[in-house]
Every structure is written in C-alpha cells, then in structure tokens.
Amino acid sequence: MAVSSAVGGSGGRGPATGPWRNWAGNVTARPTRSVAPASTEELAAAIRTAASDGLTVKAVGTGHSFTPVAATEGLLIRPERLTGVRTVDREAGTVTVAAGTPLKHLNATLASYGLSLTNMGDIMEQTVSGAAATGTHGTGRDSASVAAQVTALELVTADGSVLTCSADENPEVFTAARLGLGALGVISELTFAVEPEFLLTAREEPMPFDEVTDRFDELVAENEHFEFYWFPHTGSCNTKRNNRSQGPAAPPGKVSGWIEDELLSNGVFQLACTVGRAVPAAIPGIAKISSRALSARTYTDIPYKVFTSPRRVRFLEMEYALPRAAAVAALGELKALVERSDFKVSFPVEVRTAPADDLPLSTASGRDTVYVAVHMYRGTPHQAYFAAAERIMTAHEGRPHWGKLHTRDAAYLAEVYPRFGEFTALRDRLDPERRFANPYLRRVLGD
C-alpha cells in the first residue's frame, strides 16, 4: 500500500538576491537571481524563463560540497520549498521524496514508518538530491553510496521538459543522472529503495595503525561496515565496525553519548584545532594526547543513529577513491609523507570502503573501492598537504570525490573512468547549449 506524507514542505520563498556560500565558507556564488520553487511545475517554468533570458542554471543543496559544483552567476535554484516525502510504498519497498528534502528529515520520516535506507554517509544535513548527485557515500562491504540506492528519478532538462527515469523508462538517462553532478538537468524528485528498519551494533575500538593495515582485508571482509580514522603524527587509529543485530537496542547513554559525540568530538576537538591553528608546532603533541584519550565502546541503535554523527567543527576536505587493492600501500605512503614533512595536521584521515557499482561517474564505478579522506581545519593552510596527498592518490589511479577539493580535469578523469565518454555524450544530447554548466563542470567534464 502506498502512503502519502508531506514533511517540511512549508515556508517562504527565501531570498531572491544576495550571495550564496557553502558550509565550509570557501565557495561563494553571486547569482543574477535566485528562486525557490515548490513544485516540479514551478521548477520547469523557472528553467524555461532562465533559458529565454540566456542564463545558466544551477541547483544548490545545503552547501556541504567543498567544490563549486553548484555555483552559478545565472539562476540559482534553492531547495527549501521543494521538500517533503511524497509517497511511501511498503509493498514495493520504496520512498519517493522531493529533491530538496534534507536527509535528516527523510531518515526521521522513514523511522516513523519503521523503514530505513540500507546505508548512508556520516552526516545527514545534505539534501537528498545533492547527496546523490555528488556521490555521497558511507562505508560498506555490500553497499555504500546514496545514489546506488535510487530506483527512479524525475529530471527537468534544459528546455523545461520533465523526464521520468528508471531502469524501465529512459534507462540511459537514469543510469547517468543518479550521480549526474547537476550536468544533465535539475532533479525534482527521487525514489529510493528502502527496507524494514533494522538494528546496528557499533563497536568502536582504538587500534594501532600497523595492526589496522595488516588486518585491513580481514576487517573489511568480516564486517558489514568497517571504517577507521588515523591520527597523523601518531601510530594510532580509531576503528568502527557496524553490523546488523537482533537487538535489543542499547543506545549510548545520554551522558556518555554527549561526552563522546559532543564534548570530545566537537567541543574539545574544536578547542584543539583552534590552539593548533594559533600554534602549529603544538599539533603533534595534541594529536598524541587525543589519540591516547580514545576508549572502546559498543552500542546498538537504528541505522541513521549509528551511521551518522554531528559534525560541528568546520574544515576543508579532499577525498580520493582508490582501487581496494591499493589501500595499504597508499596509506603507508601518506603516513610516511606526514612523518618526513613539516606538515602539521590536526584532523584525522578517514578510511572507508565501497563495493563496485554500475554508475558511470560513481567513484566506485566498476571496481571495489577504498576511500581515503584528508582534512584540514578551516583557516589553516591546506594547499601543500592536499597537493602532496593528491600526488599519492593519483599515482594509484585515484578518482576524486566530486564534492571535495581536488585539481583533476577532464583529461585525467577520462582515463580513470571507463564510462566517462558515455556520460559526456549523454550530456551533449540533453544539454547541448550547456544551460547547466559552470567553470567547475567545464574543468571536470570538458566543454
């Protein structure tokens, strides 16, 4: 039975003019005008008007990309009114949701129906369409990305036409547009595969870097969801293993959960980063103290409360997807880089995995993947560290996350994505005038 629901769809039209900034504050867009459509019809009309006025068009989400993938000087489509869960179909195991709906609202609504996504990233502030379009992913032996869970979508193209896309209807567009960087059109709604809500038991445990890398294949194979964080300037990691559980639910206590997730992970970490920015020489010592403060914990809860965490300390990030077999070598090279350099890195390196998928521009397209993400606290010099890390990643045929900082261009990306030409040919057909182009897309997709 299909059930309709409206969630978070109310509110004003939002500002019509003024600059837009991303979450990290490193990207600013100054559009000619800005609109916040409340329906597919309003969205299509806005795109047709922009075309008649000769304006480019980009849709933004909540700004959690570090690249200017959504920046425009033309028409900016804002997400705040194109929201709400439109249908929940228990029999089909699907939910259809308006494109501007934040993942946190989707997760809460699904939980109220006793349903869940199979996997998700580590935050849930993004809009559903922004998360899918830029390749947002979690970690998993059998599943990872948001886009791979999409079973249908509605796409408004450059002439204002509305395409309904699935494996059965406009399948070639569906294959590419699930993770389309906003280059093929503006998504107005998405349908996700969902399943009955389940419990996950999370086991967080400190582990030496050498042990994690020695056991990496074993840890990935034995756990449904494995990830770890390595603290630069130390030999210490924090590992997290999430596996399905029969229960009962045993969430973190209110006090202990607040201490771990708010006080330590946000409050104390913010203070440490602030001190490190002021006195970079103190960072290695702070890192050693921080890594020794880690303790093991185990808890069991519904999926989104285990997969996601609050992230209040602002940073810049670069993440590369490598062939799974290159994981240990690349991590060893990154650790050696930090040890021999003058870099002072206060943020941990995050390592996750994903199975191969069939999306042309997915960072896991056609190969089992390991993700290596490097971060720097906002306001600290990051360019030299990121450039050195990027040289390691590209030497292993790395694919940069589309929403995170990198310097790659279309010539490089065409070499590491076997289906790159398939995507760009579809772009040529759907958007020959480049209504949805911007400087970032011209760099990474060509023009």
Residues 327-338: pLDDT tens digits? 999 999 999 999
Please tell me the least confidently modeled range out of 2-11, 98-107, 353-362.
2-11
User: Residue 1's pLDDT is what?
Assistant: 42
pLDDT of residue 15: 41
Q: Which of 49, 68, 71 is nearest to 59 (CA)?
A: 71
Q: Is the pLDDT of residue 259 over 90?
A: no
Instruction: State the residue for tokens 């998928």.
Output: 357
The average pLDDT across 99-128 equals: 97
Predicted TM-score (pTM) of this structure: 0.93
| CA–CA dist 367, 356 (Å, integer) | 4
% of the chain beyond a pLDDT of 90: 85
Cβ 118 vs Cβ 141: under 8 Å: no
User: Please, which pLDDT band fits residue 9 given cuts at 50, 70 and 90?
Assistant: very low
Average pLDDT estimate for 149-156: 98
Model pLDDT, residue 393: 98
Instruction: Let me know: does 400 contact 416? Beta carbons within 8 Å.
Output: no
